[in-house]
Amino acid sequence: MTATSTMQNLTVNDAVSQALAEEMRRDPRVLMFGEGVATKRRELLAEFGAERVRNTPLAEAIIAGTAAGAAAMGLRPVIDLLFAPFMTLSMDAILNSAGKLRYLSGGQFEFPMVVLAMTGAGWGVGGQHNHNLEAMFVHAPGLKVVMPSSAADLGACSRARSATTTRCCSSWTGTRLHAGAGTGGQHLVPLGGAAVLRPGRDITLVSYAKTVGHCLTAARGWPNWVSMPR
């Protein structure tokens, strides 16, 4: 993780927008499109224009297929499919094209695309939106599935620098409520390793996404819990 010069208190959406703006300034190949992105992130549209930030029809297979083709041709697309269940409509492009073709082509093509979708439960928007599908995608060759637990990490995982496909998911609860210590500058999260947020000796809690916060709450209450009378 790179050093940063400024610390801010960011919401999840703010962190994603900030990270994308930094990436788009750094690399003209980065663009964002998807369901409502130009409406939700007007500051990106104002700075980078409709050529690089644009809304799409509600057609997930076409969105993902377009992103896979754009990535293969040298661009670095970031797409937003809104809700994780909608990714089932785009699995051919994500799994069979973006995930596999880098290897099937012997490295001649790369697919540095980021797929954003919200996952989790507890927000009352109907079963067609509430579904945890990350385990399905973990088993797909060529994909990197990340489930950030903070605003800063979600923003960092939105950066389109991986040569393989990265899928980012954030829970709706986290999107609406969680504000964390965000970072300005080039905040990067190395994929493939665990982050130790609270070292200890007595017990190990392993989690991801919004449940990391519950684990930290439990860890803070651990000394009091063990001293309680049985």
Within 13 Å of residue 218, how many CA atoms lie on the same side as its CB? 11
Predicted local confidence at residue 143, as pLDDT: 87
Domain 7-183 = CATH 3.40.50.970: yes
Q: Is 129 a catalytic residue?
A: yes
Check residues 181 and 194 and name the one with the higher pLDDT: 194
Exactly one of 129, 131, 139, 178 is catalytic; name it.
129
Which residues, in sequence order, are CB contacts of 220 under 8 Å at separation 6+?
none
The mean pLDDT of 26-42, rounded to a whole number, is 93
pLDDT of 175 strictly over 60: no
CA angle 211, 212, 213 (to 5 degrees): 85
Which of 4-18, 37-51, 86-100 has the lowest average pLDDT? 4-18
pLDDT on residue 174: 46
SS3 30: strand
Give the residue extent of every domain in the chain: 7-183, 194-230
SS3 state at 82: strand
pLDDT at 95 over 70: yes
pLDDT of residue 161: 60
Other C-beta atoms lying within 10 Å of the C-beta of residue 116: 22
Average pLDDT value for residue range 170-198:
57
> What amino acid is encoded at 17 in this protein?
S
Indicate whether 162 pLDDT > 80.
no
Taking the chain, what is the end-to-end CA distance rounded to the nearest angstrom?
43
Predicted pLDDT of residue 76: 92
Average pLDDT of the segment spanning 137-166: 72
Which one has a higher pLDDT value, 212 or 181?
212
Q: What is the mean pLDDT of the chain?
A: 78
The single-letter DSSP state of residue 90 is: G
